[in-house]
Amino acid sequence: MFTGIVEELGEIVATEQLADAARLTIRGKLVTSDAGHGDSIAVNGVCLTVVDVVDGDSFTVDVMAETLNRSSIGALVEGSRVNLERAAALDSRLGGHLVQGHVDGTGTVLSRTPSENWEIVRISLPDAIARYVVEKGSITVDGVSLTVSGLGIADDAAADGNRDWFEVSLIPTTLALTVLGTAPVGTTVNLEVDVIAKYVERLAQRG
């Protein structure tokens, strides 16, 4: 379980394609400082398991085919920057919201509108998860816990086929310390909706 508060910007230092998976080596001095085999680290919002620690500042993870197909992890190459967060400790503050690290779908950055103190980013929203997203609710974008500041439906579908969109407002800290700060229009991002909404829907169906 995570909170969506990015601890560190890491970097992909090596990739290895396996038969039905990929092995990534990721540099992140802070999150590696107390990491061990079997620990969970969120990489751009995807919960991955540490296989080995390398040179004290990097770790390796194996990514199965399903994760590669359902997230943007498969597009990472050597030199890619990534958001990193260690699993939440029970005695820590919940700064964001409850994040599982299980990607529900991907969206595309549609536009960026800068302001004096923040930037509004519009992202396409897959039809399959649109019903779980509400204005002022929480959503995780590439592992970052954010508040939905706007929702809408475009006249035409985006390049990824989605018509629904949502907006988030990024403060200077988020712009400076996460990959969202420099993600250009057209970037594919990982999305995880608030799991509580899915539980409520399931309960309502069975009621």
User: Contact, 75 vs 188, CB < 8 A?
Assistant: yes
In this predicted structure, what is the pLDDT of residue 135?
95
Residue type, 150: G
Tens of pLDDT along 150-173? Answer: 999 998 888 888 999 999 999 999
Separation of CA 102 from chain center: 9
At the topology level, CATH places domain 105-206 in: Elongation Factor Tu (Ef-tu); domain 3 (2.40.30)
Long-range contacts, 155-158 (Cβ 8 Å, 24+):
158/108, 158/110, 158/124
Q: Do domains 8-86 and 105-206 have the same CATH topology?
A: yes
Alpha carbons 116 and 137: distance in angstroms, whole number: 24
In DSSP terms, 164 is beta-bridged to 153
- Looking at domain 8-86, does it have CATH number 2.40.30.20? yes
* Cβ atoms < 10 Å from Cβ of 156: 5
What ranges do the domains of the chain cover? 8-86, 105-206
In this predicted structure, what is the pLDDT of residue 93?
74
* Cβ atoms < 10 Å from Cβ of 3: 20
In this predicted structure, what is the pLDDT of residue 207?
65
Low-confidence ranges of the chain (pLDDT < 50): none
**Three-state DSSP string of 106-164:** EEEEEEEEECCCCEEEEEECCCCCHHHCCCCCEEEECCEEEEEEEEEECCCCCCCCCCE
Q: Rounded to two decimals, what is the model's pTM?
A: 0.93
3-state SS assignment for residue 195: helix
